[in-house]
Chains A and B, each alone.
Chain A
Amino acid sequence: TKTQNFCRNEYNLTGLCNRSSCPLANSQYATVREEKGRCYLYMKTIERAAFPRRLWERVLLSKNYEKALEEIDENLIYWPRFIRHKCKQRFTKITQYLIRIRKLTLKRQRKLVPLRRKIERRENRREEKALIAAQLDNAIEKELLERLKQDTYGDIYNFPIHAFDKALQQQDAESESESDAEREEDDEDDEDVDKREFVEAEDSELSDFEDMDKLETSSEEEQEEEEEVEKKASHSKSKGKTPLKGPARRKRPYIEIEYEEETEPSTKTKAA
Chain B
Amino acid sequence: AADGGRPVPGDGTDPPAPERVLFPPTFSVSEIKNKQRRHFMFVRWKQQQRKEKLALKKKRRKEREALGDKAPPKAIPKTIENQRVYDETTVDPNDEEVAFDEATDEFAPYFNRQTVPKILITTSDRPRGRTVRFCEQLATVIPNSHVYYRRGLALKRIIPQCIARDFTDLIVINEDRKIPNGLVLSHLPDGPTAHFRMSSVRLRKEIKRKGKEPTEHVPEVILNNFTTRLGHSIGRMFAALFPHDPQFIGRQVATFHNQRDYIFFRFHRYIFKSEKKVGIQELGPRFTLKLRSLQKGTFDSKFGEYEWIHKRREMDTSRRKFHL
A141 to B273, CA, bound (A): 12
- The answer to whether A148 and B262 have CB atoms under 8 Å apart is no
- The answer to whether B80 and A133 have CB atoms under 8 Å apart is yes
A133 to B258, CA, bound (A): 11
* Given A133-B260, A161-B275, CB of A144 within 8 Å of CB of B270: yes
Can you sample 11 A-B contacts with CB below 8 Å?
A123-B199, A127-B262, A133-B80, A139-B255, A139-B257, A140-B222, A140-B257, A144-B270, A144-B280, A147-B220, A159-B272
- The answer to whether A124 and B199 have CB atoms under 8 Å apart is yes
Q: Residues of B contacting A252 with CB < 8 Å?
A: 274
For the complex, would chain B's binding face be called helix, strand, loop or mixed by DSSP majority?
strand
Q: Does B268 contact A (CB under 8 A)?
A: yes
Q: Residues of A contacting B78 with CB < 8 Å?
A: none
CB under 8 Å from chain A, chain B span 61-80:
79-80
Q: Does B248 contact A (CB under 8 A)?
A: yes
CB under 8 Å from chain A, chain B span 290-313:
290, 312
Q: Mark B244-282, 1 if CB is under 8 A from A, else 0.
A: 000011000101010111101010101011111010100
Q: Residues of A contacting B154 with CB < 8 Å?
A: 107-108
Q: Does B193 contact A (CB under 8 A)?
A: no
Q: Mark B197-233, 1 if CB is under 8 A from A, else 0.
A: 1011000000000000000000010101000000000
How near does chain A come to B218, taking the closest CB pair, in angstroms? 14
How near does chain B come to A196, taking the closest CB pair, in angstroms? 16
How near does chain B come to A125, taking the closest CB pair, in angstroms? 12
The residue that A137 contacts in the complex, of B80, B81, B274, B280, with Cβ under 8 A, is: B280
How near does chain B come to A110, taking the closest CB pair, in angstroms? 8
- The answer to whether B280 and A127 have CB atoms under 8 Å apart is no
Q: Residues of A contacting B257 with CB < 8 Å?
A: 134, 136, 139-140
For the complex, would chain A's binding face be called helix, strand, loop or mixed by DSSP majority?
helix
- The answer to whether A153 and B224 have CB atoms under 8 Å apart is no
* Given A108-B154, A131-B259, CB of A136 within 8 Å of CB of B273: no
Nearest first, the 3 A-B pairs at minimum CB distance are A134-B259, A159-B275, A130-B260
Q: Does B288 contact A (CB under 8 A)?
A: yes
| Chain A residue at minimum C-beta to C-beta distance from B200 | A127
Q: Does A167 contact B (CB under 8 A)?
A: no
| Chain A residue at minimum C-beta to C-beta distance from B258 | A134
Residues of chain B at interface, number, CB under 8 A: 33
Q: Residues of B contacting A143 with CB < 8 Å?
A: 222, 224, 255
Q: Residues of A contacting B255 with CB < 8 Å?
A: 136, 139-140, 143
* Given A139-B257, A145-B276, CB of A156 within 8 Å of CB of B249: yes
| Chain B residue at minimum C-beta to C-beta distance from A141 | B278
Q: Does A38 contact B (CB under 8 A)?
A: no
Q: Does A220 contact B (CB under 8 A)?
A: yes
- The answer to whether B290 and A123 have CB atoms under 8 Å apart is yes
A141 to B200, CA, bound (A): 23
* Given A119-B312, A127-B199, CB of A136 within 8 Å of CB of B266: yes
Q: Does A100 contact B (CB under 8 A)?
A: no
- The answer to whether B288 and A127 have CB atoms under 8 Å apart is yes
Q: Residues of B contacting A140 with CB < 8 Å?
A: 222, 253, 255, 257, 266, 268, 270, 280
Assuming A130-B261, A253-B272, what are 19 further A-B pairs, CB within 8 angstroms? Answer: A119-B312, A123-B290, A124-B199, A127-B199, A127-B200, A130-B259, A131-B262, A131-B288, A134-B259, A136-B266, A140-B222, A140-B268, A140-B270, A140-B280, A141-B270, A143-B224, A144-B222, A148-B272, A161-B275
A157 to B103, CA, bound (A): 33
Q: Residues of B contacting A141 with CB < 8 Å?
A: 270, 278, 280
A136 to B258, CA, bound (A): 10
Q: Does A162 contact B (CB under 8 A)?
A: yes
- The answer to whether A126 and B262 have CB atoms under 8 Å apart is yes
Q: Does A222 contact B (CB under 8 A)?
A: yes
A220 to B199, CA, bound (A): 38
CB under 8 Å from chain B, chain A span 221-266:
221-222, 250, 252-253
Q: Mark A147-167, 1 if CB is under 8 A from B, else 0.
A: 110000110110101100000
